[in-house]
Amino acid sequence: MAYQPQFMPPGSSSAPSGVPGYPPPNAGYGPQPEYPRPAYPGPVGYPAGPPGTYVIQQPHRPQRPAVVAMSASMTVSATALWVCALATAWLFAAAGQARLAADQDFDGQVLIMLNRFSARLLDGLAIPLFGLPAIAFVAAFTLLSGRRWAQVFYSLLGAVSIGWLVWWLHLSPVWAVAPIAYILICVAILWTPAAIRWFGPDRG
């Protein structure tokens, strides 16, 4: 008795293979489409991951508070102006000493003042007058890094500067009011709540 195949629809996956009269499975239907899988974006500055992958989003660094940039700008401006003004005054004093020493008809009181000014700077006064502003100039740029140690170091430098001004100008305290107030403002704004959060322990 000859084999009689059962009727099955064309393209059926259960149709017997190799039997004449039956097309291969999925004949006439073409390749089956693949449904796309969503791609999840990666961190900023990095390409998105391939389809079906999960990329952990990195946390963004918070924006720098305006008070930090304000304190750095105030410090850089004030220290640069002070160093330039003091250096110019010292040069003029040295030039005035040489010029007045050769002039016999000029009043000697001005020459005495210039000599005293240059002598005090040479005796060691130039070290804090130039050194503290120079260190503060560099410390102001370290604030932009957001490190906790930069905030603490800058604040301690401000306290040392205020203490030295009080000692140096104790006979003329009026002259110390303006620089002390300026330093206090530069340091105090670094300890506002926004600045404290930005100088967090994760940045130190």
Q: Give the CA-trace dihedral at 111, 134, 178, 115, to 10 degrees.
A: -10
Q: Across the 204 residues of the chain, what is the mean pLDDT of every consecutive 10-residue run? A: 52 52 56 55 51 52 87 96 95 81 66 83 92 96 93 97 95 93 96 91 52
For residue 160, the model assigns a pLDDT of 97
For residue 204, the model assigns a pLDDT of 42
Distance separating alpha carbons of residues 199 and 193, to the nearest angstrom: 10
CB atoms within 10 A of CB 176: 17
pTM: 0.66
Q: Running DSSP on this structure, what letter comes out for residue 8?
A: -
Whether the Cβ atoms of residue 180 and residue 166 lie closer than 8 Å to each other: yes
For residue 79, give the nearest of 161, 166, 155 by alpha carbon.
161
For residue 77, the model assigns a pLDDT of 96
